[in-house]
Amino acid sequence: MFADITMIKLSSFRLALGVASCLALAPTVSADQLEKAQAIEGNTTQEAAQSQSRINRHSDSSLVMRQEIEQLQAQISNLEIYRDHLQNLVVNQDKEATSLRNQIDEIKDTRQGIVPLMYRMLGGLEQWLAQDIPLKADQRQARLQKLQAMMGRADVADSEKFRRILEAYQIERDYGSKLDAYQDTVVLNGRDHQVDVLHLGRMSLVARSLDGKQYWLWSARDDQWVELDASVADAVDKAFAVAQKQMAPSLLSLPLSANQGVKS
């Protein structure tokens, strides 16, 4: 019986020892698991942080790429607009070039026609001076000679030559509508005399001696100066006064060059 009790006690002791061993090992297993869990959690957190960092980097890169794409699209749009602008310019320049070529061709044709025309105009002017009354004859003849000499000058453009010839024609036309007085040298009885000359257009050309005592009228019919009677002195003097702005314009009575002839 004692032996049985001893066996029971031994068995109980072993059981208690096993239980104690199990109880002693239990905390150790829980700590390892906790450390593993903590390690796993740490690794998970680190990987999550790394993943988030990668996501952030990719997101930033995506934003940068999107901005670059938008900038490139804007540049492309501007380039397309500029390309269309250049194309329009090229089309317009082609039209301008065509127009200029046509104008050059027209200028060549015009120049070939204008030069002969200018020579004909000078010939007509020379003939007109030869047949006209001797109104400012020396001045007009000097103008014609300058125009004739100008035609042979290479440093004067054809346009300028034409302008000066037209200007000479304008001056000749104005002579026909003016009342003017000036001093000139005329041939009277075969001798040169310094006189005062007055013309009313081309209708009347009269001369007065510098002392105001003699008067002459140009006779277009006889192509020479003829002396006038003293009876016209007042009318001629009045015309001189009006021409020299010494008297207000008024009705004038002058002999006509076309109607006066040499007395027989």
pLDDT of residue 227 exceeding 60, the answer is: yes
Dig out the tokens for 240 from the structure.
């001189």
Q: How confident is the model at residue 260 (pLDDT cuts 50, 70, 90)?
A: low
Mean pLDDT calculated for residue range 107-121: 85
Dig out the tokens for 110 from the structure.
């015009």
At 178 the pLDDT is 92
pLDDT of residue 16 exceeding 80, the answer is: no
At 14 the pLDDT is 52
Dig out the tokens for 189 from the structure.
């009885």
| Phi, psi for residue 155 in degrees, rounded to 5 | -85, 0
At 50 the pLDDT is 78
pTM, entire model: 0.58
pLDDT digits (tens, 9 = 90+) for 27-55: 444 677 777 777 777 777 777 777 777 77
- Rounded CA-CA distance 248/184 in Å is 24
**Class of residue 150 by CB neighbours under 10 A (exposed 0-12, middle 13-18, buried 19+):** middle
- Rounded CA-CA distance 187/126 in Å is 21
* b/e 45-74 (16+ beta carbons within 10 angstroms → b): eeeeeeeeeeeeeeeeeeeeeeeeeeeeee
Tell me what the pLDDT averaged over the chain comes to.
83
Q: How confident is the model at residue 149 (pLDDT cuts 50, 70, 90)?
A: very high
C-beta of residue 197 within 8 angstroms of C-beta of residue 182: yes
Dig out the tokens for 194 from the structure.
């310094």
Dig out the tokens for 203 from the structure.
């209708």
What element of type H or E holds 41?
A: helix 2-131
pLDDT of residue 135 exceeding 80, the answer is: yes
Q: How confident is the model at residue 179 (pLDDT cuts 50, 70, 90)?
A: very high
- Rounded CA-CA distance 184/182 in Å is 7
At 2 the pLDDT is 43
Q: How confident is the model at residue 248 (pLDDT cuts 50, 70, 90)?
A: very high
At 160 the pLDDT is 95
**Which segments within the chain are labelled E, that is strand?**
179-188, 191-200, 204-209, 215-219, 224-227
At 151 the pLDDT is 95
Pairing of strands 204-209, 191-200: antiparallel
